[in-house]
Amino acid sequence: MTVKTLQIVPDRCTGCMQCELACSWVQTGQFQPSRSLIRVQIFDEEASYAPYGCVQCDEAWCMNACPTQAIVIDPATGAKVVLDQMCIGCHLCTIACPFGTVWTTPGTDKAAKCDHCGGQPACATACPTQAIQYVDGDKSQDWFAGWQQRVHDGYVTALGPES
Amino acid sequence: MGGWTGKLLRVNLTTGSHRIEPIPGGWLRDYLGGRGLADRYAFEELDPTVEPLSPENVLIFATGPLTGTPVPCGARYMVVTKGALTGAITTSNSGGHFGPELKFAGYDLLILEGKSPRPSYLFIYDQHVEIRPADDFWGKGVFETEDGLRRELGIPQLRVACIGQAGEKLVRFACIMNDKHRAAGRSGVGAVMGSKNLKAIAVRGTQGVPISDPVAFMKAVGKMRHDMKDHPGRIGFTELGTAATIDMTQAFGGLPTRNFLEGQFDEFENLNGNTIRDTRMVANKACFACTIACGRVTRLGDAANKYLVNMHPRNWRMAAEGPEYENAWALGADTGVGDLDAVLKANWLCNDLGMDPISMGATLAAAMELYQEGALQHVSLEMPLKFGSAEALIRMVEATGHREGFGDELAEGSKRMGEKFLRPEVFMGSKGQEFPAYDPRGFQGMGVAYATCNRGGCHLRAWTPGPETSGVMDPHTPVGKGEWVRHEQDRTTVHDNTGICLFVGGAGGPVESLVPCAAAATGIPYTIDEFVKIGERTWNLERLWNLRAGFTRAEDSLPKRLLQDAHRQGPSAGVVVQLEPMLDDYYRERGWDDAGRPTADKLESLGLANL
């Protein structure tokens, strides 16, 4: 099984929220960004826009925390998905998630998290600038390594020459 | 029913009461929403003879049926009121994220009446509506107010539309700013909000926008996105932003320079799209659902310490938005300042103070003309107001926003200022509103577009440089211009009614492409003919309102400078605006009489006979 992943490149994001619209459409059949499972964080003064959502952890804490085993691995995509009929709405997964990317549905309290739309993520399709792409897991490292290096270099520069 | 929420929120600021009302289905169908629907309510509820800055004026925020949907650039909302600058009905449009958030809170319209007894802000969280004291924010700029409201209410996703110090001080061309850098900019809507003691509207909406026919809707959206993707207009907007226009207006001698005394600016290359992109731009920024992202996020970098003439401490190192073409022209070419960094600073000040940079720059340019001619000899000035002085530009922008010193005169706009100093001819505008960045001597059609626009001098209702520079029409002849302007006004008006940005029209998404989107969203089988008729109906309704406010053919006019004084040099040398023949054509095309009144037949055909 090739595990695919959502590769997010914040530098390409313009903050247009088409991903939120598309995701909420899949969730609710309406355009309702408050129900989107991908969110765009805007850092105005830094001119930076960062879409974020479930990273589908290898060791998924939401899955470990669930008392009813309602979160399982989708064998087709490798994504961690919520089984609605098993979920009892206890919110434990939302507390367990280190990234705050598991939400609950108003009204039913059932867990809501990104499931990669079963292999065709709507957010990646909707993104007009390829800031969100659905790629093979191993390929996403190419970009991430460069980003890691940049953060590292920036950190070293900030520390000053004494370091 | 989809697209619309079908509800409006009415808030009486005097009593602090509010109620949610249904909107008549017939009005939604006949006006589509946005500007048209707000006009219809204004026609019903806003007395055209009231003083604009009195509690009797009504301030309407309106979204369209496609606001908050993924139709490209479905971000827009309109502010409709009686303009503080013009006294005419005004329809100011803004993007960002505020309009969609208001829609997600469940409202097509927000109607504000009366005047709050103390500085307040309005907080809307879906059905929860609350008027809260704004003492902590009164006197603060736009950026601080928006951040402060997020902190006070503890809602990171909050969207804010607010006024800066300029709106509080009733500067005649104050804006309503949202998302810090987006403005419902013209005609002084911010002064109207300030006169109501309303500092801000903070909105969080969690509801959805339903769609009548989802399959057809997504198909129409997909086609529009596909058409726009590789369109040269779309690519141009993304790459160079609106500031690329300066090369074109310069080439045709239609770049008004030093208060329209000249038609070309030597230093235009310092202000154009390439220079902004290559020197100061750090990112593109999109409004909600926008697939163009023409917004320029800029940083001053090493230039942050240049021109530190302002008295109020500011952080010049953060990233901010702009300038757009109009701002770069008004604060640059029109005042003769050719330094991009000075223009950037002045533009950011305008955003933070909440002022319209077009009217600001144009008013300062008029003051500079007065100064150069010695008409300000007996006035106490902080500094010489010479054309080209970057120090004067930056300091006077700030002084105007705070109404300090001579800024108090500038804050009245160039018409009132010119009259006060007995030189009314320095006012370059119509219906009290300063012209934007197209000289009608270079683009003849803009003459009739400026003269007939319902909200005064404006480039967004009919943009004739398009056909006039592409060989479709001769830029210097009046022939055919009245007809084309009428045609274009109706089409841009219906654009404003849908809630979609006007720029999609130049980026591969003409009005025709919005028709299937609106039809699928609302479930009403609109056609392009009906669409244009909605635009015409809206335009005529605004005209009727203006007639009742006392505007006549005499106000469909241009300054003498454009009608009598030709440029001596450049591509537009020797040309003056031949307004009267264009105006006659225009009235005939509109079905109006010689005095500019819609005929009974015309009103009958638009369903306006009983108004």
Q: What is the maximum alpha-carbon separation in chain A? A: 58
Q: List alpha helices for A9-139, DSSP H.
A: 18-28, 61-65, 92-96, 122-126
Phi-psi category of residue B33: left, alpha or beta, with phi > 0 → left and psi -120 to 50 → alpha: left
Helix B214-229 vs helix B511-522: crossing angle, to nearest 10: 160
Beta strands in B223-375 (DSSP E): 281-285, 295-298, 320-321
Structure confidence at residue B526 as a pLDDT band (50, 70, 90): very high
A96 close to B (CB below 8 A): no
- Chain A positions in Cβ-Cβ contact with residue B290 (cut-off 8 Å): 14, 16
Q: Which residues of B546-570 are buried (b: 16+ CB within 10 A; e: fewer)?
A: beebebebebbebbebbbeeebeeb
- Chain B positions in Cβ-Cβ contact with residue A44 (cut-off 8 Å): 180, 319
Of B320, B182, B287, B301, the C-alpha closest to A45 is: B320
DSSP B424-485: GGG--EETTEE--S--TTTSHHHHHHHHH-TTSS-SSS--THHHHHTTSS-TT--TTHHHHH
How many angstroms separate the CA of residue A22 from the nearest CA in chain B?
Answer: 8
Alpha-carbon distances, residue B98 vs B76, B127, B405 (angstroms): 8, 17, 34
Q: Would you give the DSSP letter of residue B145?
A: H
pLDDT computed for residue A47 by the predictor: 80
What topology is assigned to B7-204 in CATH? Aldehyde Ferredoxin Oxidoreductase;  A, domain 1 (3.60.9)
Residue B581 has pLDDT above 70, yes or no: yes
Residue B471 exposed, middle or buried by CB count within 10 Å (0-12, 13-18, 19+): exposed
- The per-residue pLDDT of chain A, averaged, comes to 90
DSSP B496-535: HHHT--GGGGGGT--HHHHHHHHHHHHS----HHHHHHHH
Residue B6 has pLDDT above 60, yes or no: yes
Alpha-carbon distances, residue B494 vs B30, B511, B590 (angstroms): 11, 8, 16
Helix B357-372 vs helix B413-420: crossing angle, to nearest 10: 20
pLDDT computed for residue B253 by the predictor: 95
B571 contact partners, CB below 8 Å, separation of at least 6: B251, B252, B253, B263, B442
A10 close to B (CB below 8 A): no
> CA angle at residue B95 from B438 to B98, to 5 degrees?
150
Q: Which amino acid is at B371?
A: Y
The stretch B192-199 carries a mean pLDDT of 98
In the block, tokens 């006035």 appear at: B379
Cα of B464 vs its chain's centroid, Å: 17
Q: How far apart are CA A79 and CA A72, in angstroms?
A: 8
User: Mutate which of B104, B125, B204 to disrupt the A interface (most A C-beta within 10 Å)?
Assistant: B104
Structure confidence at residue A144 as a pLDDT band (50, 70, 90): low
How many angstroms separate the CA of residue A31 from the nearest CA in chain B?
Answer: 5
HSE-up (13 A, CA, CB side) for residue B382: 19
Cα of B382 vs its chain's centroid, Å: 31
A128 close to B (CB below 8 A): yes
Residue A163 has pLDDT above 60, yes or no: no
Give pLDDT tens digits for B337-352: 999 999 999 999 999 9
B311 contact partners, CB below 8 Å, separation of at least 6: B398
CB atoms within 10 A of CB B409: 21
Q: How far apart are CA B227 and CA B517, in angstroms?
A: 14
The stretch B187-204 carries a mean pLDDT of 98
The stretch B49-56 carries a mean pLDDT of 97
- Chain B positions in Cβ-Cβ contact with residue A16 (cut-off 8 Å): 286-291, 293
B207 and A48: CB-CB below 8 Å? no
A150 contact partners, CB below 8 Å, separation of at least 6: none
- Chain A positions in Cβ-Cβ contact with residue B68 (cut-off 8 Å): 31
CB contact at 8 A, B327 and B343: yes
The stretch B6-26 carries a mean pLDDT of 97
Give pLDDT tens digits for B295-346: 999 999 888 889 988 888 888 888 899 899 999 999 999 999 999 999 999 9
Interstrand relation of B77-82 and B59-63 (parallel, antiparallel or unpaired): antiparallel
Of B72, B78, B414, the C-alpha closest to A21 is: B72
- Chain A positions in Cβ-Cβ contact with residue B157 (cut-off 8 Å): 34
Residue B558 has pLDDT above 60, yes or no: yes
Alpha-carbon distances, residue B541 vs B40, B249, B545, B547, B607 (angstroms): 8, 33, 6, 10, 10
How many angstroms separate the CA of residue B462 from the nearest CA in chain A?
Answer: 27
Q: How far apart are CA B188 and CA B85, in angstroms?
A: 5
The residues on B that touch A, with CB distances below 8 Å, are: 68-70, 97, 100, 104, 157, 180, 205-211, 214, 225, 229, 282-291, 293, 295, 297, 299, 318-320
Domain limits of chain B?
Answer: 7-204, 257-427, 444-605
Provide the total of helices (H) and of strands (E) in chain A, helices listed first: 5, 8
The stretch B490-517 carries a mean pLDDT of 95
Structure confidence at residue A46 as a pLDDT band (50, 70, 90): confident
The stretch B410-434 carries a mean pLDDT of 97
**In the structure encoding, which two tokens stand for residue B604, read together?**
């009958």
Q: Which CATH class is domain B444-605?
A: mainly alpha
Q: List alpha helices for B230-353, DSSP H.
A: 232-240, 245-251, 273-275, 325-331, 340-353
pLDDT computed for residue B322 by the predictor: 87
Of B246, B256, B546, the C-alpha closest to B429 is: B256
Residue A3 has pLDDT above 90, yes or no: no
pLDDT computed for residue B145 by the predictor: 97
A32 and B104: CB-CB below 8 Å? yes
Q: Which residues pair with B598 in a beta bridge?
A: B592
Residue A158 exposed, middle or buried by CB count within 10 Å (0-12, 13-18, 19+): exposed
A28 and B208: CB-CB below 8 Å? yes
CATH number of B257-427: 1.10.569.10
Q: How far apart are CA A17 and CA A33, in angstroms?
A: 8
Residue A151 has pLDDT above 90, yes or no: no
**Which one is predicted more confidently, B545 or A46?**
B545
- Chain B positions in Cβ-Cβ contact with residue A106 (cut-off 8 Å): 206
Residue of chain B whose alpha carbon sits nearest to that of A106: B206
pLDDT computed for residue A40 by the predictor: 95
Interstrand relation of B77-82 and B159-162 (parallel, antiparallel or unpaired): unpaired
Q: How far apart are CA B152 and CA B37, in angstroms?
A: 33
Q: Which amino acid is at B449?
A: A
pLDDT computed for residue A143 by the predictor: 65
Q: Which CATH class is domain A4-136?
A: alpha beta
Give pLDDT tens digits for A16-34: 999 999 999 999 999 999 9
- Chain B positions in Cβ-Cβ contact with residue A129 (cut-off 8 Å): 293
Q: How far apart are CA A129 and CA A9, in angstroms?
A: 10
